[in-house]
Each structure stands twice: as structure tokens, then as C-alpha cells.
Amino acid sequence: EVQLVQSGAEVKKPGESLKISCKGSAYLFSNYWIGWVRQMPEKGLEWMGIINPVDSDTRYSPSFQGQVTISVDKSINTAYLQWSRLKASDSAMYYCARHGEMLIGDRWGQGTLVTVSS
Amino acid sequence: EIVLTQSPGTLSLSPGERAALSCRASQPIISKYLGWYQQKPGQAPRLLIYDVSSRATGIPDRFRGSGSGTDFTLTISRLEPEDFAVYYCHQYGTSPWTFGQGTMVEIK
């Protein structure tokens, strides 16, 4: 069964760094881009960016450019979303999704809840 | 960026009724790259429709997507109890990709 398994919930302080992960299984990882979506508490979905596992070509939404870094390690079928200095406003659920020939995200991870609080 | 505006914000209906959800884009959607997701509380979004009208794997045929240009509709022909959820439209033809703000379909 195709799965995207994300790392567990995180509680961090403002100014700390964080890297969360998304591991794909039961499909050819290099054939699908991995995208990231933010969902703030009780809010809608926001597209953050997407990465090609083959060559790490990355596209960011202007809203998130410079605020996060998306990366990938194709040797272990894992994509990452990273912050160098967290803010309280980064508190949200973060989802990864795979994007293949259809372009749209057809399978999603279970989400990683990030809480940033002093 | 393309802004997607969904209406209504909330739809109150009974099981067995028909639901029509609207998604209007601020500019034409390229190459039919418009889809719909369903999200239930505590769950990740689930793909229902891609390329305006193609149903994703395993999606029942009571879900139908239609539209073109800037106006799109998701129709649920007869609501089942499991269909009460939030629905998001999503365009993936023009970067940055964007989502609508969602329509909640609630039990009347």
C-alpha cells in the first residue's frame, strides 16, 4: 500500500530550528514530486512548495520563500521541511503529498503538528 | 496568484439531498488543472476530483466535478452520512498553486 509517513508532533520554542520528515513507501519515490501544505488551527490549506526527488528542483510559494527550506534524500525516500528560526505563527499542521503525472497531490501523509510556544 | 473563492461557506443539508459547491477563480485555470479535496476532522485531505472532472481512484460516482475557465462546481448527487465534511478546491496549473478557503457541508 502506498504510504507517506510523517514524523511525529513537535513542541518548540521561538527561535529554535526544526526539520520534519515525510517518508514514502510502496511506490517509486523518484517518479513523484513531494509537496508541502500548511494548515493553521481551524483554517484552510496553504500550498508551501514542492520538490523533485530526482534533482532537488524546488519551487516555493512566495508566501513561504525564505521562511522554510524543502529538501530531499532520495536514497532513503524521504523529503524534509525545515525552519532555521521558528516563530509562534509557524504553529500549524503540516502535510506532505506526492505529485505524479496527474500533478495534483494524490496521496497525503498523516500530518505533523508543530507547536511553537515560549 | 490565482485566488479561489468558494461558496457557500457552509451548506446545511440532509442525507439523501444533492449538494452543489462552487469555486470561482480570479483568472482562468490553465489546462483544466482544478481539483477537489475532502477533509474530515483530524484527517488529512483526500483527493476526490482532478483535472476538473476526473474522479480519483475509489471515489464513488455520486461525486461529480464540472466547469471551465473560472467557474467550477463539485456536485454530490445524494449525500451519504460519510460525506459531511469540508471540501476544498485547488488549482495546480499556475504557480503558486492555491486552495479555496473551503466549504463545510454539515448535517441539517
CB pairs under 8 A between A and B: 59
Q: Is the peptide bond before A53 cis (omega within 30 degrees of 0)?
A: no
- pLDDT for the residue numbered A101: 86
Amino acid letter, residue A93: M
| pLDDT of A45 strictly over 90 | yes
Q: How many Å lie between the alpha carbon of A44 and the closest alpha carbon of chain B?
A: 5
Spell out a b/e string for B47-71, using b for 16 or more CB atoms within 10 Å of the CB, else e.
Answer: bbbbbbbebbeebeeebbbebeebe
If you search the block for the grid coordinates 509562534, which residue do you land on?
A88
Query: Which residue in B39, B57, B92 is closest to A103 by CB distance?
Result: B92
Asked if pLDDT for residue A4 goes beyond 90, the answer is yes
Q: Which residues of B touch A105 (CB under 8 A)?
A: 45, 47
Judging contacts by C-beta atoms under 8 Å, the chain A residues touching residue B47 are 104-107
Give me the residue label for grid cell 524546488: A58
pLDDT tens for each residue of A70-91: 999 999 999 999 999 999 999 9
Please write the tens of the pLDDT for every residue from B10-41: 999 999 999 999 999 999 998 899 999 999 99
Give percent above pLDDT 90 in chain A.
97
Question: What DSSP designation does A9 have?
Answer: P
pLDDT tens readout for residues A18-31: 999 999 999 999 99
